[in-house]
């Protein structure tokens, strides 16, 4: 296991040094759609190269390093579009990479130890991931298109009517998933 430093990221820092300190930054780059070959680029240079607001990218880097982002009230409509794109890439990662990986690990456990407890873990995980998938689909089909439509970002029609939709509905979906995970 590796230790990460808790470096507060600034725009002039070299992205390669941040990756060395915290390899999870590679996943951040991937979900933003950045090339993983960063050379000697700074955080600001690489974000500008991919038309991402450097302040937004710095906020995400700091979040990945364990800091609560500040200045999020200054983000623009373009930043919201970038965040939604990031979240869509993250959803894809969980659905196509992480879920199958965890599922395979559970199946390997069961092959080595055919016990009711392992079957229970598998059942819980499948039920949990069904809820996660439902939540991710809700975001993809309802929440993101509605946010985009309200802000005039994308020409994507929501899959369902926005009558009665509110941010508290969205928050409730998150709370349910978080509660299930804490179980």
Supply 41's token pair.
């680029």
Question: How many other CB atoms are there within 10 angstroms of residue 148's CB atom?
Answer: 19
Q: If you average pLDDT over every residue of the chain, what do you get?
A: 86
pLDDT tens-digit series, residues 148-168: 888 888 655 555 555 556 667
Cβ 25 vs Cβ 57: under 8 Å: no
For 163-177, b where at least 16 C-beta lie within 10 A, e where not — what string? eebeeeebeebeeeb
Cα 88-96-17 angle, rounded to 5 deg: 70
Domain boundary assignment for the chain:
15-73, 77-182
Give the predicted TM-score (pTM) of the model.
Answer: 0.84
pLDDT digits (tens, 9 = 90+) for 84-102: 999 999 999 999 999 999 9
Listed range (10-14, 30-34, 45-49, 137-141) with the worst mean pLDDT: 137-141
Radius of gyration (Cα) for the chain, nearest Å? 19
- For residues 78 and 154, the answer to whether their CB atoms sit within 8 Å is no
Q: Say if residue 49's pLDDT is above 80.
A: yes
């Amino acid at each position: 296991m590796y230790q990460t430093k808790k470096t507060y990221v600034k725009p002039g820092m070299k992205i390669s040094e941040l990756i060395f300190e915290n390899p999870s930054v590679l996943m951040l780059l991937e979900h933003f759609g950045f090339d993983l070959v960063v050379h000697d680029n700074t955080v600001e240079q690489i974000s500008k190269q991919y038309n991402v607001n450097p302040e937004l990218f710095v906020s995400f880097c700091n979040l990945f390093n364990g800091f609560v982002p500040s200045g999020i009230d200054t983000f623009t409509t373009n930043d919201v579009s970038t965040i939604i794109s990031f979240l869509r890439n993250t959803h894809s990662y969980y659905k196509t990479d992480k879920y199958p990986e965890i599922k395979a690990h559970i199946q390997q456990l069961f092959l080595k130890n055919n016990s009711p407890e392992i079957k229970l873990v598998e059942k819980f995980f499948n039920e949990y991931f069904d809820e996660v998938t439902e939540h991710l689909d809700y975001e993809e089909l309802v929440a993101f298109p509605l946010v985009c439509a309200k802000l005039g970002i994308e020409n994507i029609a929501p899959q369902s009517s926005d009558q009665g939709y509110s941010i508290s509905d969205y928050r409730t979906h998150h709370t349910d998933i978080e509660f299930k995970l804490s179980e």
